[in-house]
């Protein structure tokens, strides 16, 4: 059988964009080491159900994502930045190529290929594919489960949708009940609209959803046996209370408008294409006839191609669902991004067929951004940026980032990554954009976007973001405490020294919980001024270290004290 060249192109593009650069950036936010240390604890303790981590905490999410990190880390020899981000990258690659196979049969290979490339090269999805967070694995499981449910419908709903149930079970084991609720809601509404029977749609989705809960239920029972009421309280907090807005703490509370802004911002740079196309669009004068509008809408949905209808319902149902809870984050909406990409691909193909000038403008903009990025980098490397430009609260940190770019030792492959986007941009400006060949403009524009991400991921971002990391601070602390526990205190609830804990091999414990007789205490400067005076009746403290920059977890200068019980 002849190989599908478009499939191979998409698979190669996905692998080259993601896999080489996963381990280049050190942990510099609390989210990534908080997740990876759970996998570290699994390997260290042998407890794959509910291991303690970060000084005795329970993981906030179910363990499927952490199991994946653990398995990749066993192959790699240790939990690392690369192995902990690999599940997200693999999930994105699988989601993209399976999406191509799914829509190639139903919407054509050209549209499916462009959909896959757009999914890879929008900001929100691309960022999630590089992160040691549960969101990309959850997204892939939900999207793949939706594809499997659609295939079940195509088979006449015969038999049991084992694949869809397994994928929904994995999604539930990644982040809780949304893993099966969202696919079942989309699938149920689709069945109801296509077949007209609410109860048939309801019991079919209830069957699929019920089967998908078997594996997660086994884990929840085992976890409850270990964690008891504390575990159940955490489950209620992270699922029911988060959804109804009754959490014990404020968590990403935002208005409904936040979701619209998130999608617009998350789909950069393609939202720029929409802005460029606006002046060329023709709008009919609106007619305020609600009945006629409703009839047209019903007819549109009734006659829509089923694959397009399924994609549209996936967008609408998931988006509306996440407008209900007070807690809103941009990553919650990730499952709608591949389906939005389908409609974007359809629109961009019509633009090149109709020779829409906005496509050429968008290509020129992407070429200009790549050239501008190289020009700014050249100015920085020549030392032409004065320190006086950086003032204010974060001035020292921003200047340190500029110096990192200026002084970075860049390998040969790094220079290729830097210069290739600019070379393509020059070729676009000199040859492609002048040619009037809109198909070539479309292809080179997508390639230009992809290379922009590659240059950012391969050189610019690691160089800049590693300045923010506490990895060097952890090494400094380890010199004072080469083995044994490092005690810590953070006044803010649910906050820990996540980065330092990871880079000191999970040795950071909680001072108040352990009540040790002697040792070393890691604490922020402001916390030290408030907390240490309350402990002077029992302990003596001697400062032995102070960081030269603010810690990336607690946003303060970090101190290390040697202490002893009086």
- Average pLDDT across the chain, whole number: 93
pLDDT in tens, 277-321: 988 877 666 666 777 777 787 778 888 899 999 999 999 999 999
Indicate whether 409 pLDDT > 60: yes
CA atoms within 13 A on the CB side of 154: 12
**The pLDDT of residue 99 is above 50:** yes
Give phi and psi for 284, each to the nearest 5: -80, 150
pLDDT of 450-470, one tens digit each?
999 999 999 999 999 999 999
Is residue 326 scored above 90 in pLDDT? no
DSSP 77-120: TS--HHHHHHHHHHHHHHHHHHHHHHHHHHH-HHHHHHHHHHHH
Instruction: Sort 213 into a burial class: Cβ within 10 Å, 0-12 / 13-18 / 19+.
Output: middle
pLDDT in tens, 39-77: 999 999 999 999 988 888 888 889 999 999 999 999 888
DSSP 3-state of 188: helix
Residues in the chain: 566
Give the model's pLDDT for residue 291.
77
Q: What are phi and psi of 157, to 5 degrees?
A: 60, 30
Give per-residue pLDDT as tens, 75-84: 888 999 999 9
- Residues forming beta bridges with residue 53, ordered by sequence position: 57
How far apart are alpha carbons 532 and 523 in whole angstroms? 10
Give the model's pLDDT for residue 243: 64
Mean pLDDT of 153-179: 96
pLDDT band with cut points at 50, 70 and 90 for residue 254: confident
* CB contact at 8 A, 529 and 54: no
For the ranges 46-60, 357-371, 414-428, which has the lowest average pLDDT?
46-60
pLDDT surpasses 50 at 1: no
**What's the pLDDT score for residue 237?**
75
pLDDT surpasses 90 at 394:
no
Whole-model pTM above 0.85?
Answer: yes
CB 433 within 8 A of CB 364: yes
In whole angstroms, give the CA distance from residue 210 to residue 165.
8
Distance CA 14, CA 116 (A): 9
d(CA 552, CA 500): 10
Instruction: Dump pLDDT digits (tens) for 527-553.
Output: 999 999 999 999 999 999 999 999 999
* C-alpha closest to that of 453 among 409, 405, 429, 421: 421
Contact status, residue 486 vs residue 508, Cβ threshold 8 Å: yes
């Amino acid at each position: 059988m002849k190989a599908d060249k478009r499939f191979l192109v998409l698979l190669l593009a996905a692998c080259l964009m993601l896999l080489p650069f996963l381990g280049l950036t050190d942990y510099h936010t609390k989210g990534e080491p908080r997740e990876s240390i759970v996998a570290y604890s699994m390997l260290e303790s042998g407890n794959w159900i509910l291991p303690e981590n970060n000084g005795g905490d329970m993981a906030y999410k179910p363990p499927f994502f952490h199991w994946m990190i653990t398995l990749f880390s066993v192959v790699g020899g240790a939990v690392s930045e690369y192995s902990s981000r690999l599940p997200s990258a693999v999930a994105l690659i699988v989601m993209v190529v399976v999406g191509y196979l799914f829509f190639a049969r139903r919407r054509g290979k050209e549209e499916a290929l462009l959909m896959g490339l757009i999914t890879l090269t929008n900001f929100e999805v691309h960022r999630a594919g590089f992160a040691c967070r549960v969101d990309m694995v959850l997204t892939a499981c939900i999207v793949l489960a939706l594809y499997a449910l659609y295939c079940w419908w195509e088979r006449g709903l015969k038999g049991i949708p084992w694949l869809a149930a397994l994928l929904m079970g994995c999604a539930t084991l990644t982040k809780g009940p949304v893993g099966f609720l969202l696919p079942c809601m989309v699938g149920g509404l689709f069945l109801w609209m296509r077949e007209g029977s609410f109860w048939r749609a309801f019991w079919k989705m209830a069957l699929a959803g019920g089967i998908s809960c078997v594996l997660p239920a086994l884990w929840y029972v085992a976890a409850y046996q270990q964690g008891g009421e504390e575990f159940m309280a955490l489950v209620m907090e992270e699922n029911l209370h988060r959804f109804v807005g009754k959490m014990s703490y404020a968590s990403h509370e935002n208005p409904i408008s936040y979701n619209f802004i998130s999608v617009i911002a998350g789909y950069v740079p393609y939202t720029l294409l929409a802005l460029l196309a606006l002046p060329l669009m023709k709008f009919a004068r609106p007619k305020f006839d609600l009945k006629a509008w409703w009839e047209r809408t019903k007819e549109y949905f009734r006659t829509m191609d089923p694959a397009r209808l399924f994609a549209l319902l996936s967008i609408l149902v998931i988006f509306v669902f996440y407008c209900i809870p007070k807690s809103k984050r941009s990553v919650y909406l990730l499952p709608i991004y591949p389906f939005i990409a389908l409609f974007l691909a359809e629109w961009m193909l019509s633009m090149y067929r109709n020779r829409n000038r906005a496509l050429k403008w968008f290509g020129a903009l992407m070429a200009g951004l790549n050239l501008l990025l190289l020009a700014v980098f050249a100015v920085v490397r020549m030392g032409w940026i004065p320190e006086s430009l950086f003032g204010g609260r974060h001035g020292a940190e921003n200047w340190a980032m500029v110096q990192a770019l200026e002084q970075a030792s860049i390998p040969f492959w790094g220079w290729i990554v830097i210069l290739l986007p600019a070379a393509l941009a020059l070729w676009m400006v000199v040859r492609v954009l002048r040619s009037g060949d809109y198909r070539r403009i479309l292809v080179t524009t997508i390639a230009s976007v992809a290379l922009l991400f590659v240059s950012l991921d391969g050189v610019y971002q690691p160089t800049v973001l590693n300045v923010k990391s506490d990895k060097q601070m952890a090494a400094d602390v380890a010199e004072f405490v080469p083995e044994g526990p490092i005690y810590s205190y953070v006044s803010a609830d649910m906050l820990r020294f996540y980065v330092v804990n990871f880079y000191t091999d999970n040795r950071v414990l909680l001072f108040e919980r352990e009540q040790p007789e002697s040792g070393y205490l890691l604490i922020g400067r402001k916390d030290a001024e408030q907390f240490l005076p309350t402990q002077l009746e029992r302990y003596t403290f001697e400062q032995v270290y102070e960081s030269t920059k603010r810690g990336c977890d607690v946003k303060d200068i970090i101190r290390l004290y040697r202490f002893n019980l009086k």
